[in-house]
């Protein structure tokens, strides 16, 4: 099964890849973002409450979400989808939930059975102009690339219970040439702890810090019901232009790394 958004963006739930149909630009969404996007795409334009989103993205998988983390994931989806050509994807209904914007056009294709395309559109009556569609040049500017590849790594730092703003990446150049990206301006002590954890991670995975590699670090990822926290490290390789071309997510939980 795959979904086509406004004839310009594809989403494959099987591997979590969001891609722009007219080019090779793509990002791999992390699991919570995949679940959130799938719920939205299957909503058929109906209102989806915040409680149902929290349940479908976190509770059903033994995790505890929050309004703050939900806002961060929604922001990420908006930016990633906008970067691929659909500026108005979902609208927020304060204190209620979200729904697809009224002119978003969804096609659902069953690839396995080669069945005909099923169109899923918003059921609300149009009340405004068509959503604007923008064309993103192949040589995306640096900021759009950062946003797009945030989806691949899904690193969010500094989440609080009462909401929060979008994270800002902070780049650190390590001695051996690789890059470390966090989402808070860490003090020396905190940065030392992050580097120590990264050293343990690279040793456990047989990786090396070298030019062309980058590591995204998040030690405030999804929180389990027992209130223990997992660290998420995303390893990416860069192409000659400095773009991330391949990323893998790893969770560090109870001193054991596992790939996701």
The pLDDT of residue 117: 53
From residue 189, how far is each of 76, 113, 148, 255 by CA, in Å? 29, 55, 30, 20
Half-sphere CA count of 196, side-chain side, radius 13 A = 7
CATH topology of domain 168-259: Double Stranded RNA Binding Domain (3.30.160)
pLDDT of residue 12: 92
Pairing assessment for the beta strands 213-218 and 179-182 based on DSSP bridges = parallel
What end-to-end distance do the CA atoms of the chain give, in Å?
21
Of 164, 125, 153, residue with least CA distance to 27: 153
Q: What DSSP element (H or E) covers 248?
A: strand 244-253
Q: Give dist(CA 162, CA 254) in Å, integer.
A: 28
List the structure tokens of 187: 């003090």
2-121 folds as Arc Repressor Mutant, subunit A (1.10.10)
Which strands, in side-by-side order, build the sheet including 231-238? 170-173, 179-182, 213-218, 231-238, 244-253, 256-259
Query: Where do the structural domains in the chain lie, given as residue ranges?
Result: 2-121, 168-259
Q: Say if CB 254 and CB 232 are below 8 A apart.
A: no
pLDDT at res. 240: 75
158 Ramachandran zone, left/alpha/beta (phi>0; psi -120 to 50): left
Per-residue model confidence (pLDDT) at position 149: 44
Report pLDDT for 218.
72
Specify the pTM.
0.50
Per-residue confidence in pLDDT tens, the chain, 260 aa: 899 998 899 999 998 999 998 887 888 888 889 999 999 999 888 889 988 899 999 988 888 888 888 888 898 898 889 888 888 899 888 778 899 988 889 998 886 665 545 555 444 444 443 333 334 443 444 444 445 445 444 433 333 334 444 456 788 888 888 989 887 778 889 899 889 888 988 888 888 898 988 888 876 444 444 445 567 788 888 777 776 667 777 776 655 555 54
DSSP-derived letter for residue 180 is: E
């Amino acid at each position: 099964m795959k979904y086509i958004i406004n004839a310009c963006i594809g989403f494959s739930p099987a591997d979590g890849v969001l891609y722009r149909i007219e080019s090779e630009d793509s990002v791999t969404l992390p699991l919570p973002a995949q679940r959130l996007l799938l719920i939205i795409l299957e909503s058929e334009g109906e209102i989806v409450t915040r409680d149902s989103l929290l349940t479908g993205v976190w509770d059903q998988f033994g995790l505890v979400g929050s309004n703050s983390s939900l806002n961060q994931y929604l922001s990420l989806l908006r930016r990633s989808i906008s970067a691929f050509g659909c500026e108005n994807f979902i609208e927020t209904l304060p204190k209620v939930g979200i729904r697809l914007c009224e002119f978003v056009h969804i096609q659902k294709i069953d690839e396995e059975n080669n069945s005909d395309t099923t169109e899923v559109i918003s059921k609300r009556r149009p009340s405004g102009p068509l959503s604007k569609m923008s064309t993103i040049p192949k040589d995306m500017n640096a900021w759009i690339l950062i946003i797009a590849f945030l989806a691949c790594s899904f690193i969010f730092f500094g989440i609080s219970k009462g909401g929060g703003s979008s994270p800002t990446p902070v780049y650190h150049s390590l001695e051996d040439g690789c890059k470390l990206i966090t989402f808070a301006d860490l003090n020396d002590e905190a940065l030392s702890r992050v580097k120590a954890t990264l050293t343990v991670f690279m040793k456990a995975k047989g990786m090396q810090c070298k030019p062309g590699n980058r590591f995204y670090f998040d030690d405030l990822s999804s929180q389990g019901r027992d209130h223990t926290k997992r660290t998420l490290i995303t390893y990416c390789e860069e192409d000659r232009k400095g773009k991330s071309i391949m990323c893998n997510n790893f969770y560090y939980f109870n001193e054991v790394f596992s790939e996701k």
